[in-house]
Amino acid sequence: MITVKGLHKKFGQLHILKGIDLEISKGEVVVVIGPSGSGKSTLLRCLNLLEEPSGGEITFEGESITTKGYNINRTREKMGMVFQQFNLFPHKKVIDNITLAPIRVKKLEKAKAEARAMELLRTVGLEEKRDAYPSQLSGGQKQRIAIARALAMEPHVMLFDEPTSALDPEMVGEVLDVMKKLAQKGMTMVIVTHEMGFAREVGDRILFMDQGVLLEQGTPEQVFGAPKHLRTREFLSKVL
């Protein structure tokens, strides 16, 4: 589904991604771990061209999206993204947060968009919040709405950048449960997280990034059970 070849990203003099090669298959759940500042967010943001790569190639469903002049908008619709900060529209009700993009971008009829939004609210367990405003929701509920909103565009892949890092500890589980359910339904997912238990349980593959390099990857058993690199072992000894 996604192929990354020799991806580089520089911010001025700073060389942040130093030649990333990566393939993500349909239905795969890939979890990216690594120290703060290692380039995990930058990698995720390059996948949907929120950051413009400085070199290398990214293909999505067979099309090179890094070719000059490529229209990324259609592709972005197929990539849902969930951030640490939920970025809900504060002046819009939950239902309108979810239906906005399908109505505006996909030209879905309002009634259809709302019916679909209610299904998604059921999926994330928040049907009763249909008419609430974001300020009336807990952090965990906001993040579940953000996930529902991303799903409303019927993305082919979901990108998560530390979706539980801004949450109080007691709300982490409810968000991870929604993500687990998505994974079980076969959604292709790329997840940056520090939740190692979740990574181990839900990840098909773990990527360890360090200083802009994809240092190690493998199944959870391989990476958590028998890490090859000293840097991976050091990192895991701090977070496990």
Q: Does 33 bind ligand ADP (CB under 6 A)?
A: no
Cα–Cα distance for residue pair 3/35, rounded to 1 Å: 24
Residue with smallest beta-carbon separation from Mg ion: 41
CB within 8 Å of 222: residues ≥ 6 apart = 206
CA angle at 40 for the pair 3 and 179, rounded to the nearest 5°: 80
In the complex, least distance from residue 93 CB atom to ligand ADP, rounded to whole angstroms: 32
Work out which of 7, 22, 24, 42 binds ligand ADP, going by CB under 6 A. Answer: 42
Nearest to 22 by CA among 57, 65, 62, 61: 57
Q: Does 16 bind ligand ADP (CB under 6 A)?
A: yes
Q: Which of Mg ion, ligand ADP, none sits in contact with 102, Cβ below 5 to 8 A by type? A: none
The CA radius of gyration of the chain, in Å to the nearest whole number, is 18
Interface region with Mg ion, contact rule CB under 5 A, candidates 35-43, 65-73, 177-185, 209-217:
35-43
Give me 25's structure tokens.
């298959």
Q: Does 40 bind ligand ADP (CB under 6 A)?
A: yes
Interface region with Mg ion, contact rule CB under 5 A, candidates 34-42, 75-83, 176-184, 194-202:
34-42
Q: Does 14 bind ligand ADP (CB under 6 A)?
A: yes
Q: Does 11 bind ligand ADP (CB under 6 A)?
A: yes
Q: Which of Mg ion, ligand ADP, none sits in contact with 225, Cβ below 5 to 8 A by type? A: none
Q: Does 42 bind Mg ion (CB under 5 A)?
A: no
Give, in order, the Cα–Cα distances in Å from 91 to each of 131, 139, 141: 12, 17, 16
In the complex, least distance from residue 116 CB atom to ligand ADP, rounded to whole angstroms: 32
Work out which of 7, 29, 41, 124 binds Mg ion, going by CB under 5 A. Answer: 41
Cα–Cα distance for residue pair 35/194, rounded to 1 Å: 9
Bin 62: left if φ > 0, else alpha if -120 < ψ < 50, else beta.
left
Three-state DSSP class for 107?
A: coil
Q: Does 52 bind ligand ADP (CB under 6 A)?
A: no
Half-sphere exposure of 154 (CA within 13 A, CB side): 9
In the complex, least distance from residue 24 CB atom to ligand ADP, rounded to whole angstroms: 18
Interface region with ligand ADP, contact rule CB under 6 A, candidates 9-17, 82-90, 134-142, 228-236:
9-17
Cα–Cα distance for residue pair 232/41, rounded to 1 Å: 18
Q: Give, for 205, the enclosing helix (H) or strand (E).
A: strand 205-210
Looking at beta carbons only, is 40 or 231 nearer to ligand ADP?
40
Binding site for ligand ADP (CB under 6 A): 11, 14, 16, 34, 36-42
